[in-house]
Amino acid sequence: MRATQAIIHLDVFKKNIETLRAHHRANGAEPSICVPVKADAYGHGAIPAAKAALEAGARHLAVATVDEGAQLRDAGIRAPILLLSQCVPAEMEAVWAYSLTPLVSDTQAAALFAEAGKQTALGAIYGEVPPKVTEKLPVFIKIDTGMGRVGCRPEDAPALAGFIEQTNALKIAGIITHFAVSDSSKEENIAYTNTQIERFSAVAETLKARGIQTGILSAANSGGSVSHPKSWFDMVRPGIILYGYQDAGSLPALKFKPVMELVTQIVFTKTVRKGESVSYGRTWTADADTVIGVLPLGYADGLPRLLSGNFSVCINGVLYPLAGRICMDQCMVNLGAHPEVERWDKVTIFGGAKPALNAADIAERIGTIPYEITCGISKRVPRVYAD
Ligand SMILES: *Cc1c(COP(=O)(O)O)cnc(C)c1O
């Protein structure tokens, strides 16, 4: 019922997946797609996004935390779920129980995962399927080819693979790496990504030469999935582009559309007289009699306070600037001297038809990335699914 809502266009989400697949086919490739639904699907709602992704042909999902994976399993989702971030030992039994597929960067974590499997059978809490006590936990070996985050050094991969095999509890489902600058078409960044791809390919070759089954090879995030065909291997992991935002530096520019549309309504209007101020800090003062509309959303809903004085919302196809500071639960819009809009009119904050701004425009204004804008739309804002 709340006026402020994040409308999630699942049809657009599915179309974005198809746009990427068409791009791959046009390049003579058909890697499988793993859709990251971490951070509640970048703020869009993990369960509906996961279901829509699978309907659109994705074969894997990816999460950052064990809780996120458990939430998908509890919703009846059976697809393989990659656990992208390193968890702690206390979470490892749950990884088995919920049948998540962790990335393993080192032998210590591999040993701990193997140990945890003695307590809990694979998939013990995984729907109605009875636990298969003998099954091994599939894991991906994470290689740090240049991201500088988790992952083993390329030269340590053979020893880690050997260790995983001899645990007798884990099995290698794939090899994975992550790019640092794949969404940039600057020459030096293209070269860096190519180096990462070469290091990754070399690891895969070395493992194969030693008779190790490498399983699924996966390197590409959004930037790689669009711009670096050599990084597609068996499976790509595009996140932000499927939610509608391709980095301006990533070429070729494909037609991804924003999935989230943040809307509200004008709940109050008033005329402020010349010289009167609006909101905390008195940063905005009317230079003539002006009609102000009050919107029922603020920084507690995820509209960054840093946008104060630097943002416009779309009402009936026209942009209107905010007036004064964004408050916790409200913000004010300058409707001008003789407004064409009325109380209760609908307002698009971002993501709707132009001229409404999108999350990338907002991000640019405050020096961040669209990921942080959509992830930051708080739990207080109901997600409404349209398809
Ligand atoms: C988040 C993440 C992705 C997706 O990244 P995007 O930039 O949203 O495409 C892929 N792989 C890993 C390991 C990640 O953490």
Number of neighbouring beta carbons within 10 Å of residue 309: 13
3-state helix, strand, coil in the chain (%, to 5): 35, 25, 45
Residue 229 Cα to ligand 1 midpoint, Å, equals 17
Residue of 237, 246, 247 to test ligand 1 pocket, by largest number of atoms within 8 Å of CB: 237
Q: Cα of 323 to ligand 1 centre, how many Å?
A: 36
352 and 280 housed in the same domain: yes
Q: What is the per-residue pLDDT for 127? A: 52
Q: Are residues 339 and 206 in the same domain?
A: no
* CATH assignment of the domain containing 180: 3.20.20.10
Indicate if 193 and 57 belong to the same structural domain. yes
Closest alpha carbon to 212 in 204, 201, 220: 204
1 within domain boundaries:
no
CA angle, residues 11, 13, 19, in degrees to nearest 5:
100
* CATH code, domain with 321: 2.40.37.10
The verdict on residue 4 lying in a domain is: no
pLDDT at position 126, please?
66
User: Atom 14 (ligand 1): residue with closest C-alpha?
Assistant: 84
Residue with tokens 């490739």: 29
Asked if 4 and 301 touch (Cβ cutoff 8 Å), the reply is yes
What is the value of pTM for the model shown? 0.96
Beta bridge partners of 350: 262
pLDDT by 10s per residue, the chain, length 387: 899 999 999 999 999 999 999 999 999 999 999 999 999 999 999 999 999 999 999 999 999 999 999 999 999 999 999 999 999 999 999 999 999 999 999 999 999 999 999 888 787 776 555 555 558 999 999 999 999 999 999 999 999 999 999 999 999 999 999 999 999 999 999 999 999 999 999 999 999 999 999 999 999 999 999 999 999 999 999 999 999 999 998 999 999 999 999 999 999 999 999 999 999 999 999 999 999 999 999 999 999 999 999 999 999 999 999 999 999 999 999 999 988 999 999 999 999 999 999 999 999 999 999 999 999 999 999 999 997
Domain boundary among 211, 243, 275: 243
Residue positions annotated with a catalytic role: 38, 280
Query: Based on the domain organization, do 161 and 289 belong to the same domain?
Result: no
Residue 251 lies in a domain: no
Buried b (16+ CB within 10 A) or exposed e, 134-151: eebbbbbbbbbbbbeebb
Task: Name residue, tokens 């600037």.
Answer: 321
Do 64 and 192 sit in the same domain of this protein?
yes
Neighbour-count burial for 56-69, b at 16+ CB within 10 Å, e otherwise = bebebbbbbbbebb
Whether 264 and 171 share a structural domain: no
Residue nearest to atom 15 of ligand 1 (CA): 84
Residue with the smallest CA separation from ligand 1 atom 8 is 239
> Do 65 and 165 reside in the same domain of the chain?
yes
Residue range(s) defining the domain that contains residue 218: 10-243
pLDDT the model gives residue 387: 77
**Which residues contact ligand 1 via a Cβ below 6 A?**
36, 84, 178, 221-222, 237-240
The preferred substitution site among 221, 227, 247 for testing ligand 1, maximizing ligand atoms within 8 Å of CB, is 221
The answer as to whether 179 is a domain residue is yes
Question: What does the block give as tokens for 361?
Answer: 């425009």
